[in-house]
Structure 1
Amino acid sequence: MKQATKILAFETPGRGLTDITRTIARWQQESGIGEGLLTMLCRHTSASLLIQENAAPEVRGDLMAWLDRVAPEGGHYAHDDEGPDDMPAHLKAVLTGVNLAVPVIGGRLALGTWQGIYLAEHRRRPHRRELALHLIGT
């Protein structure tokens, strides 16, 4: 059994979904581990990770719009230390999650045909976000 770990950093443009699939897949292939399990952790509380549709951009837009409706900005939050988008960003991260696990089969991430891995930025301004990766297998 082999293991590989890495901290990857991504620059986000602000609120939205950034497709990180290729970067993650390239790292997995460079690791030399072709069968196993990849776990990923977003090391932040106002950003998250998603596996989502990678073909129709409307899906991603609709998802972000839904999150805005579920956790809207406003003066009704006690926590607003970093502005009106602060607490809604934390709520969106709770709803979408900060970790993922993806099997590695036959030397590739076992994602479905229309699936991609996305870093969800829930804050308005750009951020540098880090992901901790751990791959175990053979």
Structure 2
Amino acid sequence: MQQAIRHLHVRAPAQGLVDFTALVREFVNEQSIQTGILTLFCHHTSASLIIQENADPSVRRDLETYFDTIAPEDPERYEHDTEGPDDMPAHLRTVLTQVQLSVPIEHGRMTLGTWQGIYLFEHRRRPQTRDNVAHIIGHSE
């Protein structure tokens, strides 16, 4: 059994989805693990991780619009606003998504579907650099 861990820092220029599949794939490719599991964990409460469509950008725009609708910025709606009007909506959006993902590793590669990518979903408006932990465990063959 082998394992490896690395912090992957993802820069989000603004609110929205940032594809960092290539960064994760690079980490996986550097390991000798052929069969196992990759876990990704985001160290933040106002950003999340999702696996989503990577071919048509309108999917990402629609997701962002949807989350603006279900967790809008509204100063009259929330008590918590310590870091500004986008603070509480960001926390709500994270609760509705997730901060952890698991992806099986087979033949040394992530088993993502043809149109799937790994995204940081930044819920704050201003630029952020988000720390994500990638951990892989498994066997080399």
- Measured after TM superposition, the shift of residue 31 of structure 1 is 1.5
> Runs of 4+ in structure 1 displaced over 3 angstroms?
none
Aligned counterpart, 1:89: 90
Corresponding residue number in structure 2 for 1:40: 40
Cα distance in 2, alignment partners of residues 123 and 34 from structure 1: 37
Q: Output the CA distance in 1 between the equivalents of 2:50 and 2:116.
A: 10
| SS of residue in 2 equivalent to 1:82 | coil
Alignment match, 1:17:
17
Secondary structure of 2:117 counterpart: strand
Amino acid at match of 1:10: V
Cross-structure match for 2:117: 116
SS at match of 1:31: coil
Q: Which TM-score applies when normalising by structure 1? A: 0.98
> Across the two proteins, how many residue pairs are aligned to each other?
138
CA distance in 1, matches of 2:126, 2:32: 36
Secondary structure, aligned partner of 2:30:
helix
How many angstroms apart in 2 are the aligned matches of 1:78 and 1:105?
A: 46
Match of 2:133 in 1: 132
Query: 1:21 Cα shift?
Result: 0.4
1:30 alignment partner in structure 2? 30
Give the fraction of aligned pairs with identical amino acids, expressed as a percent.
55
- Distance across 1 between alignment mates of 2:109 and 2:24: 10
- Quote how far apart the aligned CAs of 1:35 are: 1.0
Q: How many Å separate the matches in 2 of 1:8 and 1:39?
A: 12
Deviations 1:31-70 (A, max 9, x none): 1212100001000000000000000000000001000000
Q: Distance in 2 between the 1:26 and 1:33 partners?
A: 13
Question: Normalising to structure 2: TM-score of the pair?
Answer: 0.96
- Give the whole-Å Cα distance in 2 for the aligned partners of 1:46 and 1:30: 30
Match of 2:79 in 1: 78
Q: Is the aligned partner of 1:7 residue 2:13?
A: no
| Superposition RMSD in Å | 0.6
Counterparts of 1:93 and 1:32 in 2: how far apart (Å)?
33
> Whole-Å Cα distance in 2 between the matches of residues 3 and 36 of structure 1?
9
2:102, 2:88 → 1: CA distance? 26
The equivalent of 1:54 in structure 2 is: 54
Please list every run of 5 or more consecutive structure 1 residues that lacks an aligned counterpart in the other structure. none
Question: Structure 2: where are the runs of 5+ without partners?
Answer: none
